[in-house]
Structure formats: C-alpha cells, structure tokens
Amino acid sequence: MTGSPPSISSGLDPAVLPNPSRRGLITALVLLAATACAILALVLLSASRRDPYTQAVLSQPGSAQDGGRLFRLNCAGCHGLAAQGLVGPNLHGVDRRKSDRQLIQQVVSGRTPPMPRFQPDPQAMADLLAFLHSLP
Ligand code: HEC
C-alpha cells in the first residue's frame, strides 16, 4: 500500500509502536485467539454432552439381543443380515472406528444418504449400540 497512513492508528502501525511492544501485542492477540478457540471448543463439547437424547441413550444398558432384532428389521436390508455389508458398509468392528456418540449420530442424523434418518427411542438406540458393540 502506498500513500499516507490512515489518520486513525490501528494499533499495529509500526510508526506508532516500537517493535518489541508490537511483538507483545501480537503475542497477546494470538493468545487471545487461542483462548477464544479453547472456550468455543469447550462450549461445543459440553453442549454435545448435554444433548438429552444422547445422554438418555448412554445412561441405560442396552440389550444386544433386542438390538439384533431391531437391526434385522431396520438395517439388515442395507448392511446385511450378519452386518457383513451390502449397500451399506460392513459394520464389524465399527465401534473401534467410531465413538458411541458418532454411532448415535450416524443412526439419527440422516447426514449420509442413502442411509435414512432413524428416530429410535433411547432404549431402542441403546439396544442398537449394544448390538453394534457385540459384532466381532
Ligand atoms: C438405505 C440403506 C441403509 C439403511 C436402511 C441403514 N444404513 Fe447404515 N449406512 C448406509 C450407508 C450407505 C452407509 C455409509 C454412509 C457413508 O458414510 O457414506 C451407512 C453407514 C452406517 C454406519 C457407519 C459405518 C462406518 O463404517 O462408519 C453405521 C454404524 C450404520 N450405517 C448403522 C446403521 C444402523 C444401526 C441401521 C439401522 C437402524 C442402518 N445403518 C440402516 C446405508 C443404510
């Protein structure tokens, strides 16, 4: 940029601030930005922790047997009767790739078509989770 500097100093104007304090200012800004990011991450994390549906699912033990029944009715058409994969992927060991929260999101969000959005009640979702955990 050429021409005369703006009449209102931005605070970062090298003509106004000597170098050491400029560096201090930049450090302070970087620290401020990092703190803001950390706070945002914490807020988002605790929001997902507080999500009442996920909490309800995770707070009760599921039955892998009931989950298996739900799976054969709702999921086997795409994932195969033995969850070996068909239209949808093989689900054996999926609990090592995805956390419980991610698995719940996968089932209820409908974010990965053609897999539809399911709305199981918390007990049914806990059963499905138990079933997914039972797959070797
Ligand atoms: C209409 C077909 C269809 C149905 C029905 C379906 N899925 Fe899926 N599912 C998919 C497809 C396709 C994907 C891959 C999505 C992607 O990641 O692009 C998938 C992905 C998944 C994943 C993640 C797999 C991984 O490797 O990350 C899980 C877990 C899953 N499905 C569970 C279920 C459960 C439980 C049900 C029943 C409640 C179900 N699905 C019903 C098609 C289906």
Determine which residue's CA is closest to atom 41 belonging to ligand 1: 75
A 10 A CB-CB count for 110 gives: 14
Mean pLDDT of 71-78: 98
Cα–Cα distance measured from residue 113 to residue 101, given in angstroms and rounded to the nearest whole number: 19
The residue assigned the tokens 């399911």 is 118
Q: Determine if ligand 1 sits within 6 Å of the CB of residue 112.
A: yes
pLDDT digits (tens, 9 = 90+) for 11-38: 566 555 556 677 888 889 899 998 887 8
Q: Determine if ligand 1 sits within 6 Å of the CB of residue 87.
A: yes
Q: Determine if ligand 1 sits within 6 Å of the CB of residue 114.
A: yes
Asked if the bond preceding 114 is cis, omega within 30° of 0, the reply is yes
- Is the domain spanning 53-134 CATH 1.10.760.10? The answer is yes
Residue 11: its pLDDT value, please?
58
Q: Determine if ligand 1 sits within 6 Å of the CB of residue 78.
A: yes
pLDDT digits (tens, 9 = 90+) for 51-65: 899 999 999 999 999
Q: Determine if ligand 1 sits within 6 Å of the CB of residue 80.
A: no
pLDDT digits (tens, 9 = 90+) for 36-51: 878 777 776 666 667 8
Instruction: State the angle between helix axes of 100-109 and 122-134 in degrees (0 to 180), rounded to the nearest 10.
Output: 120
Determine which residue's CA is closest to atom 18 belonging to ligand 1: 112
Q: What does pTM read for this prediction?
A: 0.74
A 10 A CB-CB count for 115 gives: 17
pLDDT digits (tens, 9 = 90+) for 87-133: 999 999 999 999 999 999 999 999 999 999 999 999 999 999 999 99
